[in-house]
Structure 1
């Protein structure tokens, strides 16, 4: 049985749109973070990303992001459990926002954290499509 590989993308609806699933399986999830208040509209956060603590605090305290992610994590857990049980090899989870800098980056990072903690047996890869400097290079 192969190990499940979960690829998580943050992306911009304006610049590139929903990332293509290169695994050949198609499908997966695409979540639209534009319904969450945008920290990029706050002057002090404009040049920051969803990995910066100020942006994270804003999203956690000033927006519905925690509730949004809790719902998503419950939803994706159903699929992850099923895919592990059935021996599937790939799942893609995408988070989009206007510029691919704040909300989607935060959501992708927090979702990767959640999956790594709950499912240590799966491989998680994050790609910040609009913020490649944030991608971990191993």
Structure 2
């Protein structure tokens, strides 16, 4: 919210969802009269009154139906990460009380927000992100997404660290020969030329690249035609350092001329 405010959005944290149509109407009228800013960012969480939270999906759909551009960004994280964060900050979860443990509150929170999450244009898994990294993702994937059309993110990851929560599609590269077992390649990554040469020397690598590219070439336009603004494609291998990085880089290179905003993120590299 602070980042969006810094780049010119009017920001309101935890506005009751039932007041959203009235606020949007007022902002639109002011903007049409030349006396206001039509860029509006609202934060909604379980502190919202339950009756308002329940109305949120319907309100959002009505706004979209009336022609208002309404993008929903859903921030998610794994339960162990959230428990650690609450422990470190010593903040009280709004749904906890003398009868409700934190883990139970997190489960209830997920259930309450599920209808809003289902409407999300973009889901960001914050589990492995620092505050600085989260701001960078918002900046790159939201603020920096000015071109019309769908933004496509190729994200490499390691299955042993879990599948990214924000991945819309996931491809598994663990069947490819693993450079990790080559002592001279172990310390390198899929972005290094030596690893690329090793993988390209394996026929199955080219076959997998061709198959994934063919699938995406056919189906990504269908995603775009369904009015999606963002699609995250997860490319996984065991550790997320060699095969998945290489494949993600090659796919991003292939699709950069077909979509206006193609990005690459290497999750496990960001954590080292």
TM range (shorter): 0.7 to 0.9
Deviations 1:12-71 (A, max 9, x none): 111x211111xxxxx621111100000111011000000111100000013511110100
CA RMSD of aligned residues (A): 1.9
> Aligned equivalents of 1:4 and 1:104: distance in 2?
23
Q: Structure 1 regions of 5+ residues with no counterpart?
A: 22-26
Q: Secondary structure at the match of 1:10?
A: strand
> Aligned equivalents of 2:151 and 2:202: distance in 1?
33
The match for 1:125 is 263
Runs of 4+ in 1 over 4 A off after TM superposition: none
> Aligned equivalents of 1:129 and 1:122: distance in 2?
22
Aligned residues: 126
| Higher RCO (CA-CA < 8 Å; seq separation 6+) | 1
Larger Rg: 2
1:3 Cα deviation (Å)? 2.1
> Aligned equivalents of 1:80 and 1:50: distance in 2?
24
The match for 1:111 is 251
Q: TM-score scaled by structure 2?
A: 0.44
Larger deviation: 107-116 or 2-11? 2-11
1:133 Cα deviation (Å)? 7.9
**Bigger fraction of residues in helix:** 2
The match for 1:20 is 165
> Aligned equivalents of 1:92 and 1:79: distance in 2?
13
1:108 Cα deviation (Å)? 0.5
